[in-house]
Structure 1
Amino acid sequence: MLYPELFKQLEAVRWNMDTDIPWDQFQPDLLTEEQAQTIKMNAITEWAALPATEMFLRDNRDDSDFSAFMSVWFFEEQKHSLVLMEYLRRFRPDLVPTEQELHEVRFEFDPAPALETLMLHFCGEVRLNHWYRRAAEWHTEPVIRKIYETLARDEARHGGAYLRYMKRALNKFGDEARAAFAKVGVLMASARRTAQALHPTNLHVNEKLFPRDTVQSRLPDPGWLEAWLDKQIQFDAVWESKVGDRILHNLSLLLERSFASVQELNRYRKEVTQAVAAAAAQRASGGSGAQTA
């Protein structure tokens, strides 16, 4: 099991909201209205770890190890929402999200393949690490800068934990896992070619609720994310390249094959997908032959 070791590792570096955040260093003249509004939107977005955890537990009922790890991931992600709300409570109480605003992002996600979802959330952690690092640079008030730096490190550690479960999946499922990871990797490392930000909170996850079936669509300001990325923290092509490169680097190590570009990863995806299809056809052929005999 990975859970006991991951619990110990994450417990050892866990930060304390009271003592590790320099609340006494707050400088009110360095917090703009625009910046304060983005903190509220991020606090609500982080609350979406709640429905994501419910999804993970539902879709991984046969995996108690991973489900147990969710107790750590869920705690730390909800803590992200809490520390952002605490910042607002102390310094901009008029912007603290209401319980109803938080509850709006708790809705059911449609079932999805567990391996693809695992890879999707690994990529999401990589992307969020970079978003928060850029947010820390954009903000001018020192306490919120420290908070975003802290959250960024958490997201990086969560990505590392997901990577451990991805490596375990390779040993257990072989080419099926390779095909799933490559498929999602091609999508998530190609964000420069898409019209919207590729992150789990910005993807459609409930067909019956469309178009209000993304976390971002259920925020008080549904268009906030795109404005935050493009106009405020200016998450430009250089930063986007860092995300894509990080995804490709980790997949290169995980799959033991070098991917210098999305195109190379896509060629690998086609190869391994064909191998999975051929193996399935062979099993089907063998099954029908046995029944005929």
Structure 2
Amino acid sequence: MLYPELFKQLEAVRWNMDSDIPWDKFDASLLTDEQAQTIKMNAITEWSALPATEMFLRDNREDSDFSAFMSVWFFEEQKHSLVLMEYLKRFRPDLVPTEQELHEVRFDFDPAPALETLMLHFCGEIRLNHWYRRAAEWHTEPVIKAIYETLSRDEARHGGAYLRYMKRAMAKFGDEARAAFAKVGVLMASARRTAQALHPTNLHVNAKLFPRDTIQSRLPDPEWLERWLDTQIQFDSVWENKVVERILHNMSLLMDRSFASVQELNRFRKEMAARLVSPAKDDGLAGASA
């Protein structure tokens, strides 16, 4: 089981909201209304760890190890929402999200393949780590800068934990896991060719609720995320390339094969898909690699 070890690792570096956030460094002159509004939106977005956890537990009922790890992931993700709300409570109480605004982002996600969902959230943690690093640079007020730096480190650690479960899945499911991870990896590393940056918060997850079936669409300001990325924290092509590079780097390590571009990863995806269609042609290799 991975859960006991991951629990110890994450427990050892867990930060304390009272003592590890420099609340006494707050400088009201360095916080704009525009910046404060974005903090509210991120507080609500982080609250969506609640429905995501419900999805993970539902779709991984046969996997008690991973489900137990959700207790750690859920705790730390909800803590992200809580610390952002605590910041607003202390310094901009007029912007603290209401309970109804938080509850709006709790809705059922349609069932989805567990392996693909795992890869999706692994990539999401990489992307969020970079978003929060850039947010820390954009903000001018010292306390919120420190908070975003703290959250970004958490997201990086969560990505590392998901990677451990992906390695375990490859040992158990072989080419099925490789195909699922490559498929989602190509999608999530191709954001430059889509209308928006792909992240679990803006993907459609409940057909019956369309068009209000994304976390983003249920925020008080559904247009906020694109504005935050494009004109506020200015998550430009340089930063997007950092995300793509991290995805490709981790996929290279995971598959023990170098992927220098999304195109190379896509060729690998096609290779895995072909092997799954006609496994008899490659039984020996598939068995050895699994």
CA distance in 1, matches of 2:217, 2:280: 39
Query: Any residues of structure 2 matched to 1:1-293 within 5 Å, and which?
Result: 1-279=1-279
> Aligned partner of 2:19: which letter?
T
CA distance in 2, matches of 1:280, 1:261: 30
CA distance in 2, matches of 1:40, 1:282: 53
Q: Which whole-Å deviations, capped at 9, do the CAs of 1:101-146 have from their partners, x for residues lacking one?
A: 0000000000000000000000000000000000000000000000
Paired residue secondary structure (1:108): coil
CA distance in 2, matches of 1:15, 1:174: 37
Contact 2:129 2:153 in 1 (8 A): yes
Could you tell me how far 1:196 is from its partner in structure 2? Answer: 1.1
Could you tell me how far 1:278 is from its partner in structure 2? Answer: 0.8
Could you tell me how far 1:279 is from its partner in structure 2? Answer: 2.1
Could you tell me how far 1:277 is from its partner in structure 2? Answer: 1.0
Paired residue secondary structure (1:16): coil
Could you tell me how far 1:173 is from its partner in structure 2? Answer: 0.1
CA distance in 1, matches of 2:239, 2:155: 16
CA distance in 2, matches of 1:115, 1:273: 15
Alignment: residue pair count? 283
CA distance in 1, matches of 2:282, 2:137: 54
The percent of aligned pairs where both chains have the same amino acid is 86
Structure 1 stretches of 4+ moved >3 Å: 280-283
> Aligned partner of 1:54: which letter?
E
Paired residue secondary structure (2:109): coil
Could you tell me how far 1:197 is from its partner in structure 2? Answer: 1.6
> Aligned partner of 1:218: which letter?
R
CA distance in 1, matches of 2:254, 2:164: 9
> Aligned partner of 1:210: which letter?
F
CA distance in 2, matches of 1:207, 1:174: 31
* TM-score of the two chains, using structure 2 as the length reference: 0.96
CA distance in 1, matches of 2:102, 2:278: 47
> How big is the alpha-carbon RMSD for the aligned residues of Structure 1 and Structure 2?
1.1
Contact 2:40 2:96 in 1 (8 A): yes
CA distance in 2, matches of 1:105, 1:80: 15
CA distance in 1, matches of 2:244, 2:123: 9
Contact 2:179 2:269 in 1 (8 A): yes
Structure 1 unaligned runs (5+)?
284-293
Match of 1:291 in 2: none
Contact 2:275 2:282 in 1 (8 A): no
CA distance in 1, matches of 2:282, 2:237: 44
* TM-score of the two chains, using structure 1 as the length reference: 0.95
Could you tell me how far 1:281 is from its partner in structure 2? Answer: 9.8
> Aligned partner of 2:125: which letter?
E
Distance 1:255 1:101, change over 3 A: same
> Aligned partner of 2:97: which letter?
P
Paired residue secondary structure (2:278): helix
> Aligned partner of 1:41: which letter?
M
Distance 1:279 1:30, change over 3 A: same
CA distance in 1, matches of 2:240, 2:191: 7
Paired residue secondary structure (1:268): helix
